[in-house]
Structure 1
Amino acid sequence: MPTLRFPGFTEEWQEVQFCDVVNLYRGSSPRPIIEFITHSDEGVNWVKIGDMPTTGRLVTSTSERITLEGSKKSRKVSPGDLILSNSMTFGQPYVMAIEGYIHDGWFVLRDYEEKMDRDFLCNLLISPIIQKQYYRLAAGGVVQNISSDLVNQVRFSLPSIAEQLQISHLLNILDERIALQSKLI
């Protein structure tokens, strides 16, 4: 339990395991990918780590597209979906602002809305509480990655939705002020 809380919140936070509150789905790639990359307007967005914003968490564009045939062998993501990198810069969450398809270097998180606010979940995923668990359990030599099993076994304390909304609101205000200060500097 945190020592500092918003007024009016006194109930205990529930200790949970990730898989108890979020469904995790791995992306997939058509193989060999080079045969499915296209420059055609008829292609669909192909989400890669290089497309991630340098500031913020909103994915607004992609540099590559795949064919419609390739998309049948991948996982679709839609605006509002929360995705999580599982390779290279693993453990970084982003919110989709566009429709696209993710390869196996991504997870999409779904079916959490009854127990978790999306902004709270996004902030939780970048918190030291979660990140330390990822780094401790990450596998790989040169390129470390996190498996769905690893992500699913992460444990954390979960406040009520109402308290999550308060926390998210405060963190969003802080993020906006940091972005504004960075722009001014």
Structure 2
Amino acid sequence: MANNSNKNKCNVPHLRFPGFMGDWNISTIGAEFDLYSGNTPSRLDKQQFMGKVNWISSGELKEHYISSSKEKITEVAANNNSLKILPIGTFIIAIYGLEAEGVRGTCSITKEASTISQACMAFMPKGNVTNEFLYSWYKKHGNLIGIRYAQGTKQQNLSYDIISQFRISFPSTQEQTKLERFISLLDERIATQNKIIKKYESLIKGIMVELQKQGLKKGTWKKVFLNDILTERNERNSNLYQVFSVSVSQGIINQVDHLGRSFSAKDTSKYNVVHYGDLVYTKSPTGSFPYGIVKQSLNRERVAVSPLYGVYVPNSLAIGVYLHKYFMSEINTHNYLHPLIQKGAKNTINITNQRFLENRVPMPLDSNELLLISKLLRSVNDKIRHEQNMLQEYQKQKQYLLRQMFI
């Protein structure tokens, strides 16, 4: 791979495959692509969602390629709602809710003919840039685009007018093809690593379900109120610890590392302090957790979180480990929180920190059994963290190559 030492003198990337020379072309997204945003058929007519046509939502744009959507509509529904049937190989991005975790920069290329929701935008080439090249270009720039250009107060969105004006640099078709194949190989390895992690996570969920099922059946488990095993930690951030956020996939993580920048107030002295082993409950809807998420802090150093989060001290580390894994389940989290939640006038979630503790979860009666379970869960979790670290290294390598090989 050739290193370009004259980057400041011409429109070329830092790294380039041997044999390719000359400046890259410069154009705009609007000049190179026709843009299209979809629609959502009325859910009052359930028949519309009983078809075979893919209807892709923004939350499904996780991998390089998307083959099948969770929901499918009928051809009649597509026609009645002016939904285009997009061909195989269409590039799609998420344009709504870019303030949420993991949404900025998400995109995929279709492997089947599909329709899309209004939260997505599709790109159809009309110039010299391929959808595969655009995928890599957006993977490089998408997160920053979401931070800098998304508009809105509560929900951050991108519009046609904004996207169409973005400038894009691109090489010849032959060089695009070379880059596409290279990036696809990286994505295949990343996809494989994700599958390994998901298998371990499925193993933990299976263990939890089976232990609970057998324990309740034998009478060695009982349902325990959280206010009997958790105590709210009311400690303010007078020492001005670093501000962390809560992630579905990565737990309690540095806000800048996770979100790309700090969203905290200038004065964080009123924020809540989190110690190692504490449980944190966020009240913000996140993906498949409409009532928020619960995570245990594995950070050895004390950190701060938003005052909107509830922070709780478990009676033992083993209890914290068990509850962390228990609330990894979307079903468990929904069933626990649903009876406690009150929805506000604007569909906001109303629940006090003390109210959060007023429901029950199944747990072993024997503290030794709980300790053994926590050790097992921590062992599998250590393996997951190892695989996640490997995944992060692959992702860092990809981001480095995107920065160096694309403009």
TM-score, normalisation: structure 2: 0.40
- Give the 3-state SS of the residue equivalent to 2:15 in structure 1: coil
Of 157, 170, 173 in structure 1, the residue corresponding to residue 182 of structure 2 is: 170
AA matched with 1:150: I
Which has the higher relative contact order, 1 or 2, with Cα contacts under 8 A spaced 6 or more apart?
1
1:26-81 alpha-carbon deviations (Å, 9 max, x no partner): 21233xx213443875453322234344xx22222222233443211123223222
1:18 is aligned to 2:29: yes
- Give the 3-state SS of the residue equivalent to 1:121 in structure 2: helix
Is the 2:125–2:131 contact (alpha carbons within 8 Å) kept by the matching residues of 1?
no
The aligned residue for residue 95 of structure 2 is 86
1:1-23 alpha-carbon deviations (Å, 9 max, x no partner): 21221111111011211111111
1:102 is aligned to 2:109: no
Gaps in structure 1 of 5+ consecutive residues: none
AA matched with 1:92: T
1:146-182 alpha-carbon deviations (Å, 9 max, x no partner): 0011110111211111111111122122222333455
Of 124, 141, 144 in structure 2, the residue corresponding to residue 132 of structure 1 is: 144
Q: Kindly, what percent of the aligned residue pairs are identical?
A: 26
1:127-157 alpha-carbon deviations (Å, 9 max, x no partner): 13x5423421110122111001111011121
Distance 1:28 1:75, change over 3 A: farther
- Give the 3-state SS of the residue equivalent to 1:24 in structure 2: strand
Is the 1:38–1:64 contact (alpha carbons within 8 Å) kept by the matching residues of 2?
no
1:34 is aligned to 2:43: yes
Q: Equivalences for 1:39-54 in 2 at 5 Å?
A: 42=51, 44-53=53-62
Is the 1:28–1:75 contact (alpha carbons within 8 Å) kept by the matching residues of 2?
no
1:116 is aligned to 2:125: no
- Give the 3-state SS of the residue equivalent to 1:170 in structure 2: helix
The aligned residue for residue 66 of structure 2 is 59
TM-score, normalisation: structure 1: 0.82
Instruction: Note the C-alpha offset of 1:111.
Output: 2.5
Distance 1:168 1:109, change over 3 A: same
Distance 1:43 1:119, change over 3 A: closer
Q: Which of the two has greater helix per residue?
A: 2
Q: Matched residues in 2 for 1:152 and 1:6: separation? A: 29
Matched residues, number: 179
Q: Matched residues in 2 for 1:43 and 1:2: separation? A: 43
Q: Matched residues in 2 for 1:107 and 1:2: separation? A: 27
AA matched with 2:14: T
1:5 is aligned to 2:20: no
Deviates more, 1:142-151 or 1:96-105: 96-105
Quick check: which has more Rg, 1 or 2?
Answer: 2
Is the 1:83–1:95 contact (alpha carbons within 8 Å) kept by the matching residues of 2?
yes
| RMSD of aligned residue pairs (Cα, Å) | 2.4
AA matched with 1:77: L
Q: Matched residues in 1 for 2:125 and 2:114: separation? A: 19
Q: Matched residues in 2 for 1:162 and 1:125: separation? A: 20
